[in-house]
Amino acid sequence: MMPPQPFKYFAFISYNAKDTSWGKKLQKKLEHYRMPATLCSEHGWERTPIKPVFFAPTDIQPGGLTEELQERLRSSKNLIVICSPNSAQSEWVGKEIEFFHSLGCTKNIHFFIVHGTPHSGNPNTECFNPVIDRLGLPEILGANINEKIYRWPWLNRERAYVQLISKLLGVEFDTIWQRHKRMLARKVAAWAIGAIAVFCAMFYVWRANQPFDVNIKLNEASPQNTNLPPLKNAVVTLTLDNETKSDTFASLDSKLIFSNIPHRYLNQPVHFTISCPRFNNTDTTVLLTPTTQLNIYRDPNYFGDVHFQLWNPEEEKTVGNEIIYINGFEAVSDNEGMVSLFIPLEAQDSVYTVTSHLELENDRVIMPCGPDDILIVKQK
């Protein structure tokens, strides 16, 4: 902690009302500036030794040098003058400088230049109040935020703040400036990381609302049989809440794309139906991805269920209890002459050859077939 001192304020900021924003910034910068721990230990300071700083809008309204304002000046260790063409032409800034000088505190008057040019001689650009020359104050250029030391204006402003702080505390400028630059570098890096994080979050939100296209592929998942006709005209329907999208596959090799799917459905379960001649109807739920594969299965009954009747036209009756062979698979006609046989999918065909000890008028069965189909037996 700093030892007790007769001053209520560490500094008094003198300014023109047109430079109020600069006064507020400077007050905040000074009162919150954290000094290096080693310097604080060496001098017995707090980590934020420059406080309180008197700035009129936070305490009293600026105006003439009333007794109250004079008391504020008497209670201040330092006077900081915000220099600009505005303050250079301000009667009250001149009176505050003059009164503080009369207290014998000339060496504690500091200048912080925000606009204009020192000693320009032009009232439109001059930043020093004429009372400075009239009182014969020492030649002090002050901390100038517009001094072009670095490429970036914000870094030049930071340098001016540190210049002023080093003068207020009576320490070497370089002692705290190098540390301040390292601190700024860390802040810039943290800001950059934060900005990247915000950008990534915004990009994610934007991306999450972008529609995407779904490339649908059909896969015949049932056992392969080249004897059977290939898939043709499969109708695929995608259901999204209250919306449906449908399209047709001419063949397994054709392409089907559902466009402009809301991104919220990506990797979410959605409902598909598939209808296709000679294949089972499919009703399934899958996770939707940009390339989504759907399995489709043949209807094993379409070419597998063989039904027909043996008929003898000469006798005008059915032929029962006869053994016949359908593509090598044995079957027996019942008492009504009906032949029923299921052929496994792997052995199915669109046309079957029928053999028997009976003489048949036609030895071929074209699928699909049913009870109304007849194979005629010739009379021996």
Q: Which 3 state secondary structure label does DSSP give 141?
A: coil
Q: How far apart are the first and last CA of the chain?
A: 129
SS (H, E, C) 132-154: HHHHCCCCCCCEECCCCCCCCHH
Render pLDDT for 135-144 as a digit per residue (tens, 0 to 9).
Answer: 888 766 789 9
Q: Which of 329, 334, 339, 332 is nearest to 307 (CA)?
A: 339
The structure tokens listed for 164 are 């002023």
Of 250, 268, 298, which one is at a domain's C-terminal end? Answer: 298
Q: Does the structure show a pLDDT above 60 at 119?
A: yes
How large is the C-alpha radius of gyration of the chain? 48
115 and 95 in a common domain: yes
Entry pTM: 0.56
Render pLDDT for 173-207 as a digit per residue (tens, 0 to 9).
Answer: 888 888 888 888 888 888 899 999 999 888 888 87
Residue 35 CB coordination number (10 Å)? 21
Of 265, 298, 331, which one is at a domain's C-terminal end? Answer: 298
Higher pLDDT, 279 or 7: 279
Render pLDDT for 12-22 as a digit per residue (tens, 0 to 9).
Answer: 999 999 999 99
Upper half-sphere CA count for residue 84 (Cβ side, 13 Å): 16
- Give pLDDT, residue 321: 94
- Give pLDDT, residue 35: 83
pLDDT band at 43 (very low <50, low <70, confident <90, very high): confident
Residue 297 and residue 345 in contact, taking contact as beta carbons nearer than 8 Å: no
pLDDT band at 278 (very low <50, low <70, confident <90, very high): very high
Mean pLDDT of 323-349: 95
Q: Does the structure show a pLDDT above 50 at 340?
A: yes
Residue 201 lies in a domain: no
- Give pLDDT, residue 46: 84
Instruction: Name residue 247's beta-bridge partners.
Output: 236
154 and 26 in a common domain: yes
- Give pLDDT, residue 184: 85
236 and 153 in a common domain: no
- Give pLDDT, residue 59: 44
For residue 361, what is the DSSP state? S
- Give pLDDT, residue 178: 87
Supply the CATH number for residue 370's domain. 2.60.40
260 and 312 in a common domain: no
143 and 29 in a common domain: yes
Of 255, 274, 298, which one is at a domain's C-terminal end? Answer: 298
- Give pLDDT, residue 28: 94
Q: Which of 321, 303, 277 is nearest to 365 (CA)?
A: 303
162 and 44 in a common domain: yes
pLDDT band at 3 (very low <50, low <70, confident <90, very high): very low
User: In sequence order, which ranges of 83-122 are alpha helices (DSSP H)?
Assistant: 85-88, 91-102
| Gap between the Cα atoms of 307 and 371, Å rounded | 6
Render pLDDT for 238-270 as a digit per residue (tens, 0 to 9).
Answer: 999 888 999 999 999 998 999 999 988 999 999
Residue 60 lies in a domain: yes
In the chain, the number of structural domains is 3
Residue 376 and residue 319 in contact, taking contact as beta carbons nearer than 8 Å: no
336 and 245 in a common domain: no
- Give pLDDT, residue 111: 94
305 and 292 in a common domain: no
pLDDT band at 4 (very low <50, low <70, confident <90, very high): very low
Residue 337 lies in a domain: yes
Residue 104 lies in a domain: yes
Render pLDDT for 55-109 as a digit per residue (tens, 0 to 9).
Answer: 976 544 555 578 888 999 999 999 999 999 999 999 989 999 999 999 999 999 9
112 and 167 in a common domain: yes
The structure tokens listed for 102 are 């009369």
Buried b or exposed e, range 127-156, using 16+ CB within 10 angstroms: bbbebbeeeebeeeebbbbeeeeeeeeeeb
24 and 142 in a common domain: yes
**Strands 76-83 and 109-113: what pairing?**
parallel
Residue 3 lies in a domain: no
Residue 226 lies in a domain: yes
Cβ-based neighbours of 281, under 8 Å, separated by 6 or more: 273, 274, 275
| Gap between the Cα atoms of 50 and 54, Å rounded | 11
Q: Which 3 state secondary structure label does DSSP give 110?
A: strand
Residue 15 lies in a domain: yes
pLDDT-wise least confident of 34-48, 86-100, 116-130, 314-328:
34-48
Supply the CATH number for residue 144's domain. 3.40.50.10140
State the average pLDDT for the chain. Answer: 90
DSSP secondary structure, 302-315, as one string: HHHEEEEEEEETTT
315 and 283 in a common domain: no
Range of the domain at 270: 212-298
313 and 276 in a common domain: no
Render pLDDT for 354-374 as a digit per residue (tens, 0 to 9).
Answer: 999 989 999 999 999 998 999
Match 């707090």 to its residue by tokens.
46
- Strands (DSSP E) contained in 185-268 are 212-220, 234-240, 243-249, 256-261
Residue 220 lies in a domain: yes
